[in-house]
Structures are given as structure tokens and as C-alpha cells.
């Protein structure tokens, strides 16, 4: 696991400039079965044109993998997850909103730390190592983006990250 975490932070990105829509559709499709198994509704809402983003698909896939698998494993059956993509001035923002238990204010600053799991998570037998969000943060920052979370106990959680638009897109707008 340590090797995996280290590799992520040190490997050079292998970026491609391409539309992000098909990528998001494919990722959400991959999670439909596991969401369905847990009786969780999964929705993808794209609120932007088919913009070009320069990104490393394998690495960004790991970011979305972790956000979606977290949303699914921490949300109780009957819940809903909404993935929303929108365009900012010179970036796109992807939000993963769940109707799960939410996170206390005091835990929020530590979520992206390596090995941090909200106390009690182990006891409720949800498996994990606490590395996913730390890896996601490192990947997003390597792309020049940001990652953050908004949450309140009982109100679900919304994880968001940004990726800069390709230079071509920025000069068009
Ligand atoms: P790993 O991703 O390495 O398998 P993990 O899911 O426990 O393990 P992270 O993805 O880094 O680790 O998440 C850290 C902790 O943040 C989780 O253990 C959980 O306590 C909390 N957390 C993450 N996502 C959510 C969410 N959507 N709702 C509630 N709590 C969450
Ligand atoms: Mg995780």
C-alpha cells in the first residue's frame, strides 16, 4: 500500500487532451451494478458543453473510483448519489454528492490525510485503509486542480474536485 501511495505521488502524469463526458459516463456505468446491489440510486448530471480537459485518464479514474466507492460504501441502502459536472471559468468541477451519514466538522480537516478514517468507521465494519482520499488529493493536485469536501452530520457529503481546462478551451472562452 505504501508503495502504491508513493508511486502515485512520484509518477509523471501521462496526459491526453480529450472530452471528459464519455469518460464520466463510462465511470458511472461501471458503478451502476454495485450501487444497484446496495439499493442506491446513481445519477450523472452534466451541466456543461463537451469541453476538452488535459488529464491522465488512468489517474483521474483512480480519483473517481475512490469518491464513488466511498459514496457507495458509506451511504445506507435507499440512498442517492449524484455526480454533477460543471464548468467554471478555466476549470471543470466534478461533484460527488451522497445522502450518507455525513461527516462531523472536527473530522473534516483530516479526511485527506494518509490513513485517516473517521473514528467508528472500523467498528461499523466498512472496510478501507484510509488512503483513498490522500491518493486522490495528490493526483488532483498534480493536475493543477483542487479537491475539497462539504458535509454535515445527517446531511450527506459532497466531495468536489476541479481540473483545469485544456489551454485550447481557455483561449476560446
Ligand atoms: P480506502 O479508500 O483506502 O479503501 P477509506 O475509504 O477508509 O479506505 P478514504 O477514501 O481516504 O479511506 O476515506 C477516509 C475516511 O473518510 C473514511 O474512512 C470515512 O471514514 C470517511 N469518508 C470518506 N468518504 C465518505 C463519505 N462519502 N461519507 C462519509 N464518510 C466518508
Ligand atoms: Mg476510500
Which tens digit of pLDDT belongs to each residue from 36-73?
Answer: 999 999 999 999 998 999 999 999 999 999 999 999 99
3 state DSSP class of 14: coil
Residues 33, 119: Cα–Cα separation, whole Å: 29
3 state DSSP class of 116: coil
Q: Which atom of ligand 1 is nearest to the CA of 134?
A: 11
Nearest ligand, measured from the Cα of 130: 1
Torsion of CA 75, 70, 53, 16, to 10 degrees: -140
Residues 29, 121: Cα–Cα separation, whole Å: 27
pLDDT in tens, 104-151: 999 999 999 999 999 988 777 889 999 999 999 999 999 999 999 999
How many C-beta atoms surround the C-beta of residue 45 within 10 A?
11
Query: pTM for the complete prediction?
Result: 0.94
Residues around the ion ligand 2 (C-beta < 5 A): 66, 70, 132
Residues 72, 132: Cα–Cα separation, whole Å: 14
Q: Does the beta carbon of 74 sit less than 6 angstroms from any atom of ligand 1?
A: yes
Return the bridge partners of 55, or none.
16
Q: What's the confidence (pLDDT) of residue 123?
A: 76
Q: What's the pLDDT band for 1 if we cut at 50, 70, 90?
A: low
Decide if pLDDT at 9 tops 80. Answer: no
- Best residue among 96, 115, 132 to mutate for probing ligand 1's pocket (most ligand atoms within 8 Å of CB) is 132
Amino acid at each position: 500500500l505504501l508503495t502504491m501511495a508513493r508511486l502515485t505521488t512520484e509518477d509523471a502524469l501521462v496526459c491526453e487532451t480529450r472530452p471528459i463526458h464519455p469518460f464520466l459516463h463510462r465511470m458511472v456505468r461501471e458503478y451502476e451494478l454495485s450501487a444497484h446491489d446496495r439499493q442506491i440510486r446513481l445519477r450523472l448530471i452534466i451541466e456543461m458543453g463537451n469541453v476538452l480537459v488535459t488529464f491522465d485518464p488512468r489517474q483521474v479514474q483512480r480519483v473517481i473510483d475512490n469518491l464513488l466507492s466511498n459514496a457507495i460504501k458509506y451511504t445506507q441502502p435507499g440512498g442517492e448519489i449524484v455526480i454533477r459536472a460543471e464548468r467554471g471559468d478555466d476549470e471543470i468541477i466534478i461533484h460527488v454528492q451522497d445522502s450518507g451519514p455525513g461527516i462531523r466538522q472536527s473530522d473534516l480537516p483530516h479526511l485527506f490525510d494518509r490513513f485517516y478514517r473517521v473514528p467508528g468507521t472500523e467498528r461499523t465494519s466498512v472496510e478501507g485503509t484510509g488512503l483513498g482520499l490522500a491518493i486522490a488529493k495528490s493526483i488532483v493536485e498534480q493536475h493543477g486542480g483542487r479537491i475539497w469536501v462539504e458535509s454535515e452530520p445527517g446531511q450527506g457529503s459532497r466531495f468536489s474536485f476541479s481540473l483545469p481546462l485544456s489551454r485550447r478551451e481557455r483561449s476560446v472562452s
